[in-house]
A and B are shown apart, each in its own frame.
Chain A
Amino acid sequence: MRIPVKAVGAATALLLSTPALAGWEPTKPVEIVVAAGAGGASDQMARMMQAAIQKNNLMKQPMVVSLKGGASGAEALMYMKSSEGDPNKVLIAYSLIYMLPLSAKIPFNWRELTPVSVVALDQFVLWDNSAGPKTVKEFVAAAKAASAPFKMGGTGSKREDHVLTVFLEQKTGAKFSYLPYKSGGEAATQLVGNHIEANVNNPSENLEVWRAGQVRPLCVFDRERISYTTKVTDTQSWADIPTCKEEGVDVQYLMLRAMFLPGKVTPEQQAFYVDLFHKVTQTAEYKDYMEKQALKPIFLTGKDMVQFLEEDDALNKSLMTEAGFVAK
């Protein structure tokens, strides 16, 4: 009987201070579940949110980051699925919520979770070693001329990086040998060490080696250039990278970064997190992070989010089907 009393107490306290808010607040530490390994883009983002929430006192309970990157992230999905009704767990999701159930037949469907908000869109960039070809055209020519396998590194198998590689092959006619690594960080260092010819990492995964002049961005897989014009290296900003379409390779892909609660939580609980992450997107920490990692800021929730997810799901499904990655 103690818990309900506590919850009511917390709720009244909250009502008194901010009457506009819904009447629910976490009563124990909130777990932010990362479906990837330590140091990856999801982990970095989770740590940023953890710090933003703590530094700006956005929540009374502490937030802990819980890494569940096992089985290429499937561990996190199953964990969220089995936590039905638990409002103290938030998943920081990306395209694996569509792709893993298709490629590995994981019994998971994002519709079983409670959507909170889409907080960012992540870009993909084609990178090569700074000693390699300087433009997309030269790169494609080199790939076609190569006698040994032309190696493309990426994170995981039959996932976004792999899909992009397949579409690059289709549009350019070049052949790549795709090497699936465990993380984007690994794909970055393998490119610097010249063990692979290229990768399609997110900006955040290659940022540091780009700044050190060890890799070169060839083109970004988006309709338009990245908007940030602050110089990242001595000579270039994110906005200086041409789009792949400009370079004659019409391949586009953006990846969502979204927050989900487990299924069967109450509307009040959902409302609390919608508000919490909305506040997070207003913090200096978030804005700084978006610019540094070249993410597209976005905030979708409610009906808009569900519509976005449905469209995104359909798109990913068609890409996966076309690439031949859907398990039978």
Chain B
Amino acid sequence: MEALGLLLHGFAVLLTWKTLLLMMVGLVLGIFVGVLPGLGGPNGVAILLPLTFTMDPTSAIVMLSCIYWGALFGGAITSILFNIPGEAWSVATTFDGYPMAQQGRAAEALTAAFTSSFVGSLVAVLLITFLAPMISSFALKFGPPEFFAVYLLTFCSFVGLGREAKHKTVISMSLGLLLAGIGMDTVSGNLRMTFGSPELLRGINFLVAVIGLFGISEILLTMEERLALRGHAAGISLRVVLGVWKDLPKYWVTLLRSSFIGCWLGITPGGAIAASFMGYNLAKRFAKEPDSFGKGRIEGVFAPETAAHASGTSALLPMLALGIPGSGTAAILLGGLMVWGLNPGPLLFVEHKDFVWGLIASMYLGNVVGLVLVLTTVPIFASILRVPFAAVAPMIVVSCAIGAYAIQNAMFDVWLMLGFGVVGYVFKKIGIPLAPFTLALVLGNRAEDAFRLSMIGSGGTLKVFWSNGLVGSITTLAILLLFWPVIDGLLGGIGRKAAGQNGDATKG
């Protein structure tokens, strides 16, 4: 196979002490920027990009992609330890990762997160290696109706599959959609809900909201309840790591399902965030005891992390083959490529074979080296929980504030973040789920644009969402998921009747 030969050639180029060293440096820097909430992948890579200008393209891209891997790995750390997602797609990781940390299983949760990231990325890289040309043509099939259908699917799966009260999910989602509308409306070119304020022009930044909603509100709750982080740094040893790995095969369905969702959404640009939520919801849906999710179930860490990283990795494919970045970080990498005269596009795979395969080889290596590196640092990160809350809390607040400020260099965002902290606190108190809110805030705009572009393109008929097999099946699936509780009830009714005749076989 041609792909294999080229890949081996790529490995040969990379396996030198110098490149391995660059990899380590890149990974450590990446983990560092990933850990700081708000600084996150895109900003971190942007800051470090000029470092690579003086290198040759291969070394530079190896270093950059390793920063990218490091940031991907690092984003999980704060989500699990402090309930503060470092990257948008780490939000779903907090649902079960944070409760695990509170139960003293931080090391287990971190190991699970890193391992599943590794699995997700690996599946995606394999996909890129063997299916690159086919996949890029698949991504081209996505026009506005298809994009809207995917977003609709994500929203519907939330309402239909979520365990929270449906009306609370819808309330939370609507509020998110409302806030997503603030700022410039690309379709009409007019400003909305800015009330003449130049600060609101930019709209509400998703990360600012997330840092406040999750991080600050958690600090408020902890202060009110007990002034102590509930997590105890458990004995961390190789045993924990091996223990998690030994259990890994049990969850192969979850891992495979999440990898599939991740890859699929990753190659449709902008799908990485949707992927992590969808991976989580589906794992919950198909679990034997869905109620145990959100209370510290390891599967709840496996599912979103695998999906997020499969999509984070496969997002590089549309970036290379089509020039559309699938995530913020990929967008900065794109800028980096152009500096070396490597213009992403259909011809990159033909004209710069060496570079492309070097990059793919570096994905394999970077991933392996990254896994080893983060696993060895788990004890260090997990031991942060041993520090008394009174000492850690101010540091978390400061780092949240820096993070919120750094996103757009705006002091207004720091106030906004604090405001969201209070909102998050109130939501938690009255039991309104935060996840649908954040999801709507991040996807609301894109969903709206996609819908309106579909309407302009079709002359205003909804039939466009069933105009071909692809969009039709996604839309139908979305509607099925929305009414899933009803459908499930009907099917369950039939199922119970059948089971009733054979005695109560399912119980016990």
Query: B-contacting residues of A (Cβ < 8 Å)?
Result: 37-39, 43-44, 47-48, 50-51, 54-55, 62-68, 70-72, 74-75, 78-79, 82, 103-107, 148-149, 151, 156-159, 162, 177-182, 185-186, 188-190, 192-193, 195-196, 207-209, 211-212, 214, 325, 327
Contacts and interface: CB of A to CB of B under 8 A. Distances in A.
Contacts of A327: 190
B183 interface: yes
A65 B345 contact: no
Contacts of A157: 185-189
Interface string B89-103: 000000000000000
A34 to B, nearest CB: 9
B203 A70 contact: yes
Tell me which of B142, B322, B336 has the highest count of chain A C-beta atoms within 10 A of its own C-beta: B322
A196 B189 CA distance: 20
B323 A75 contact: no
B499 interface: no
Contacts of B143: 190, 193, 195
Contact of B201 (A106, A209, A325): A106
Nearest to B457: A151
20 contacts: A39-B331, A44-B335, A48-B339, A50-B50, A50-B339, A63-B50, A70-B203, A71-B202, A148-B458, A149-B458, A151-B457, A157-B185, A162-B189, A177-B457, A178-B456, A189-B139, A193-B140, A193-B142, A208-B323, A211-B347
Contact of A180 (B46, B189, B323, B408): B189
B141 interface: yes
A180 B201 contact: no
Nearest to A185: B323
B338 A47 contact: yes
Contact of A209 (B187, B345, B449): B345
B34 interface: no
Interface of B: 46-47, 49-50, 53-54, 139-144, 183-191, 198, 201-203, 322-325, 328, 331-332, 334-336, 338-339, 343-348, 408-409, 449, 453, 456-459
A190 B323 CA distance: 12
B457 A149 contact: yes
A209 B324 CA distance: 12
Tell me which of A70, A78, A159 has the highest count of chain B C-beta atoms within 10 A of its own C-beta: A70
B50 A54 contact: yes
A189 B198 contact: no
Closest 4 CB pairs of A and B: A208-B345, A157-B189, A195-B143, A38-B331
Contacts of B144: 179, 195
B458 A74 contact: no
Contacts of A181: 186, 453
A162 B186 CA distance: 12
Contacts of A158: 188-189
Tell me which of B142, B183, B188, B202 has the highest count of chain A C-beta atoms within 10 A of its own C-beta: B202
Contacts of B140: 189, 192-193
Contacts of A104: 184, 189-191
A80 to B, nearest CB: 12
B338 A54 contact: no
A140 to B, nearest CB: 20
Nearest to A192: B140
Contacts of B49: 65
Contacts of B348: 208
B189 A156 contact: yes
A211 B346 CA distance: 9
A169 to B, nearest CB: 15
B345 A211 contact: yes
B456 to A, nearest CB: 5
A149 B202 contact: no
A181 B155 CA distance: 22
A72 B186 contact: yes
